[in-house]
Amino acid sequence: MRGVVLHAPGDVRVEDREDPVLMHPTDAIIRPSAVCVCGSDLWPYRGIEEVSGPTPMGHEYVGVVDEVGSAVNTIRPGQFVVGSFFASDGTCEICRSGYQPSCAQRVAMGAIGTQAERVRIPLADGTLVATPEHPPADLVPGLLAASDVLGTGWFGAVAAEAGPGKTVAVVGDGAVGLLAVLAARRLGAERVIAMSRHPSRQELAREFGATDVVEERGDDGVARIAELTGGLGAHSVVEAVGTQESMMQAIRSTRPGGHVGYVGVAHDVALPGHELFFSHVHLHGGPAPVRRYLPRLVDLVWRREIDPGKVFDLTLPLEQAAAGYQAMDRRSAVKTLLTP
């Protein structure tokens, strides 16, 4: 089968990979209908994360179940399914508490590489959510978004305790940040401030429910948020970048007692304890437990109440994956959808 492999920073190839087989009785094999390129795929693509030899890429996926192992009970061949970027058993104490990416049996789908024609999904019963029936084509992008960026933005907004009466600021205008705007509004936030200096992303943020846009960054961005919130800072801030600057911008934009939800994978971040202490903020984040939200998110997409698929502004056949990575790297695309 064909699949995407990163050989070195900037060197994405589509090549023949070995066909996956059922390795455990709890596995399923799916044929992805659509996969995509994640902001976090850009870290190794840009050489910020080390690339040690050829690496299969991708961790987002929707598709049709091809085969299931003997211990798979709820997922059946032929179903259309959405899964998260961590496979998880769904039964342990950590899964039941809603932190599936920390499941003791977790498997990072990024280590398997979903940008391919067929994909092995470990722990299929715990990981996959089936749609009521096969979706019409126009719903596929939205369902694919639920697999990571929507679920991650949603977790960011939940972790930031976005809700009625709250002012929420979002740091980062990638797909996750934009969908955190959508999530904050769906969760009832009164005011949602998107921090973006990119006109087309600002437009999408407004479409997703942003009430304000702040173009300034860093200290200037913090000052603008203060100005917009009577000097106090936002109640809730979602951080969706993962750098030292963006984390500090998020913390400093939050009022005392407010909540920072951080979902950008932290790279070279060190939080100054003294400042954090006196900031009085709540901090929560990490790899989003997308599986916790998937039934609700799939339902919202299915009933066309939300259209998170709008973050895909470039669709290419899998064979042209390299061009899809390049477009995201250059920020000419927000998010690339690939059709195997």
Question: Whole-number minimum distance, CB 46 to a second copy, in Å?
Answer: 17
Furthest CA-CA distance within the chain:
60
Select from 47, 199, 256, 317 the one that contacts a second copy (CB under 8 A). Answer: 256
Residue 271 in contact with residue 249, Cβ under 8 Å?
no
Select from 83, 287, 309, 324 the one that contacts a second copy (CB under 8 A). Answer: 287
Rule CB under 8 A: say whether 285 interacts with a second copy.
yes
Select from 136, 270, 303, 305 the one that contacts a second copy (CB under 8 A). Answer: 270
40 or 196, CB closer to a second copy?
Answer: 40
Parallel, antiparallel or unpaired: strands 191-195 and 11-16: unpaired
Task: Give SS3 for 170.
Answer: strand
Select from 265, 316, 322, 323 the one that contacts a second copy (CB under 8 A). Answer: 265
Rule CB under 8 A: say whether 269 interacts with a second copy.
yes
Rule CB under 8 A: say whether 7 interacts with a second copy.
no
Rule CB under 8 A: say whether 284 interacts with a second copy.
yes
Rule CB under 8 A: say whether 108 interacts with a second copy.
no
Select from 136, 273, 303, 305 the one that contacts a second copy (CB under 8 A). Answer: 273
Select from 262, 293, 312, 325 the one that contacts a second copy (CB under 8 A). Answer: 262
Binding mask 143-172 for a second copy (x = CB under 8 A): ------------------------------
Residue 21 burial (10 A CB sphere; 0-12, 13-18, 19+)? exposed
Question: Whole-number minimum distance, CB 258 to a second copy, in Å?
Answer: 9
For residues 169 and 212, give the distance between their C-alpha atoms in angstroms, rounded to a whole number: 9
Rule CB under 8 A: say whether 104 interacts with a second copy.
yes
Binding part of the chain for a second copy, among 33-41, 120-128, 276-284, 318-326 by CB under 8 A, reads: 276-284
Angle, to 10 degrees, between the axis of helix 199-207 and the axis of helix 175-186? 20
Which residue has tokens 């990072």?
Answer: 108
Select from 105, 131, 244, 339 the one that contacts a second copy (CB under 8 A). Answer: 244
DSSP H helical ranges for 160-261: 175-186, 199-207, 218-228, 244-252
Angle, to 10 degrees, between the axis of helix 149-159 and the axis of helix 175-186? 50
Residue 90 in contact with residue 126, Cβ under 8 Å?
yes
Q: Name the CA radius of gyration of the chain, rounded.
A: 19
Alpha-carbon separation of residue 289 from 102, 140, 149, 178, 302 (angstroms): 9, 21, 11, 18, 20
Rule CB under 8 A: say whether 232 interacts with a second copy.
yes
274 or 330, CB closer to a second copy?
Answer: 274
Quick count: other Cβ atoms within 10 Å of Cβ 98?
Answer: 13
Number of residues that bind a second copy (CB under 8 A): 40
Rule CB under 8 A: say whether 105 interacts with a second copy.
no
For residues 256 and 234, give the distance between their C-alpha atoms in angstroms, rounded to a whole number: 9
Rule CB under 8 A: say whether 211 interacts with a second copy.
no
| Site residues for a second copy per CB under 8 A | 93-94, 97-99, 101-102, 104, 230-232, 242, 244, 247, 255-257, 262, 265-274, 276-287
